[in-house]
Homo-oligomer: A and B are copies of this chain.
Amino acid sequence: MELGMIGLGRMGANMAHRLTQAGHTVIGYTRQPQKAEVLVQEGAIARGVTSFVELIEALTPPRTVWLMLPAATVDATLHTLMPFLDADDIIIDGGNSHYIDDIRRADQLKVKGIEYIDCGTSGGIWGAERGYCLMIGGALAVIKYLDPIFAALAPGVSAAPRTPGRELIGGTAEQGYLHCGSHGAGHFVKMVHNGIEYGIMAAYAEGLNILHHANIGKQLHQVDAETAPLRNPEFYQYDFNLADIAEVWRRGSVISSWLLDLIAIALLKDPDLANFEGRVSDSGEGRWTLMAAIEEGVPTPVLSTALYTRFSSRGQSDFANKLISALRYEFGGHLER
């Protein structure tokens, strides 16, 4: 099939590669002509264009245009692009949009007869090789029509052992892509996917932090009224090799996972993680996951505290902490140390 790709960053370029390799024709839009040239030479895209007019002309109607953009820029792009589109053209938002925006956009585009598909895309920089997990929302007929695109991007069934019983059911879920429901359903599922991701990452990080501090009994502690002494320093005398521990967990353990594979890589390269300061970003989905949970009345203490740790890592608890120190001073005369 033929597809226009708007957004040729890390994700978009890799996806174009994978589509081209599968025999699809990708017209790539970028404002940087040199970048387009490089991607053409690499065989990632068939042709590069630098304006929406060119893009629209290059595609045979009904056109399929994939957006792979920061969530914050999608509306502006759609606003500019819309006048060039015709009825039956298809827009796929493959980025990390809020599903509520998908519902609104689908309604707006519907007026002009344009189809809108939301597609949550997981896989990061490994997707080029590993394939992308695609969570898709929108009209069934459109998604069926786009099946060859999704199939090319997804990892395929061989990427993991088959779930017993799946052979009786069929469907695309075990290929690595799924029509999750109506407009917004794809990004809703991707949103929750990322919320879970935050929780899992924090679970590993907390556990490894316990192992990291397991030699605390070797340190001297001051005796004063402000601090409780470590009751049993003899139980905290371990100097663990975290790279080895992450590695050993990768095989046979209950907690083996792809994220653990990456932890093993990261710790082998840099056991002290000295290249990082520990200011952890969050890109929206974790927040939206919690808001949905709260609206639904669903308890999410793990996903919440995982996100809050990221907020704190960026200094967002500072005022609260100062207040507690101030209070301790007021009632007990305690000074910070």
Contacts and interface: CB of A to CB of B under 8 A. Distances in A.
B297 A160 contact: no
Contacts of A290: 290, 294
A130 interface: yes
Given A176-B248, A247-B173, A258-B254, A296 B210 contact: yes
Contacts of A192: 207-208, 210-211
A336 to B, nearest CB: 5
B133 A323 contact: no
Interface stretch (A19-27, A28-36, A78-86, A212-220): A212-220
Nearest to A275: B326
Contacts of A270: 326
Contacts of A230: 295
A40 interface: no
Question: Quick one: which of A195, A212, A301 has the most chain B CB within 10 A?
Answer: A301
Interface string A192-232: 11111111111111111111111010000001111111111
Interface stretch (A51-59, A109-117, A141-149, A277-285): A277-285
Contact of A176 (B251, B275, B318): B251
Question: Quick one: which of A216, A236, A324 has the most chain B CB within 10 A?
Answer: A324
A43 interface: no
A41 interface: no
10 contacts: A133-B256, A196-B203, A202-B301, A203-B203, A209-B320, A210-B289, A227-B284, A255-B258, A304-B308, A309-B317
Given A196-B255, A229-B72, A321 B279 contact: yes
A248 B166 CA distance: 12
Contacts of A213: 296-298, 316, 319
